[in-house]
Amino acid sequence: MNYLYDLWDDFISLLFPRLCHACGGHLLRNENLICTGCFVSIPRTNYHLQSENPVAQLFWGRCQIEKAAAFSYYSKGSRIRNLIHKLKYKGIKEIGPELGRIYAVSLKSSGFTSGIDVIIPVPLHASKKRSRGFNQSEFISAGIAEVAGLPIDTFSLVRGVSSDTQTHRSRYERWTNVDSIFQVTDPEAIRGKHILLVDDVITTGSTIESCVNELLKTEGVRVSVVAIGCAVV
């Protein structure tokens, strides 16, 4: 039976080849989404092992962060960039939890996630979430939560426009403001908690900065940050 199954499996993969989302090469039967070659060769920053790393330094003087790290470097042509593009723009959602799980193994074993109470994915603006259909950071968070054994909160922090203050602004003003407005909907839900804020990519850090400053308005909140890619040098 196994032989017949394998034969059928090979036949199907001839017709519908399963390809690695990072390099485009063929996947072996035991590989899923990412080939072993890519898994091994994706460069790790190991920033979770050093407290004064470039991602943490990006926020110095901007907002109070406990710890910050990123899994890999987000550069042109990099495997991690290919993966994040497939996740965000081609809708291959399974890539999110897979990357989250891969990173969380290192985060957990190094103790980075100990003391964290809850994971909050960086919210997408509601209109973007509608057009994309999902928030990639929630999918990455799901993988981290699974490995680290932590809950996810997708309700307490939202992104959007507060209608009363926005209606009188010009279109340009609204455009520049819309992305940076975050609101805590239920301070009681996060009071006194150490939050792990999760994003897909950190570049300028301004989105994270806005989120953190909003979260810190609630008493006793501490925030740590992780992303899959960073474009910080």
Tell me how far, at minimum, the Cβ of 71 lies from Zn ion, in Å.
16
Name which of 43 and 115 has its Cβ closer to Zn ion.
43
The answer to whether 217 and 64 are in contact (CB under 8 A) is no
For 163-191, b/e burial (b = at least 16 CB within 10 A) is eeeeeeeeeeeeeeeebebbebeeeeebe
Q: Which residue has the tokens 């050093």?
A: 50
Tell me how far, at minimum, the Cβ of 26 lies from Zn ion, in Å.
9
Name which of 27 and 152 has its Cβ closer to Zn ion.
27
3-state helix, strand, coil in the chain (%, to 5): 45, 15, 40
Name which of 19 and 49 has its Cβ closer to Zn ion.
19
Q: What are phi and psi of 135, to 5 degrees?
A: -105, 115
Name which of 35 and 102 has its Cβ closer to Zn ion.
35
Q: Which residue has the tokens 């150490």?
A: 194
CA angle 160, 165, 166 (to 5 degrees): 60
Contact residues for Zn ion, defined by CB under 5 A: 20, 22-23, 25, 35, 38
Tell me how far, at minimum, the Cβ of 38 lies from Zn ion, in Å.
3
Q: Give the residues across from 158 on adjacent strands.
A: 183
Name which of 87 and 232 has its Cβ closer to Zn ion.
87
Name which of 76 and 168 has its Cβ closer to Zn ion.
76
CA–CA separation, 20 vs 92, rounded Å?
12
Tell me how far, at minimum, the Cβ of 220 lies from Zn ion, in Å.
44
Tell me how far, at minimum, the Cβ of 18 lies from Zn ion, in Å.
11
Closest CA to 188 of 218, 154, 158: 218
Name which of 25 and 220 has its Cβ closer to Zn ion.
25
CA–CA separation, 98 vs 182, rounded Å?
27
Tell me how far, at minimum, the Cβ of 233 lies from Zn ion, in Å.
25
Please count the CA atoms within 13 angstroms of the CA of 78 that sit on its side-chain side.
18
Tell me how far, at minimum, the Cβ of 78 lies from Zn ion, in Å.
12
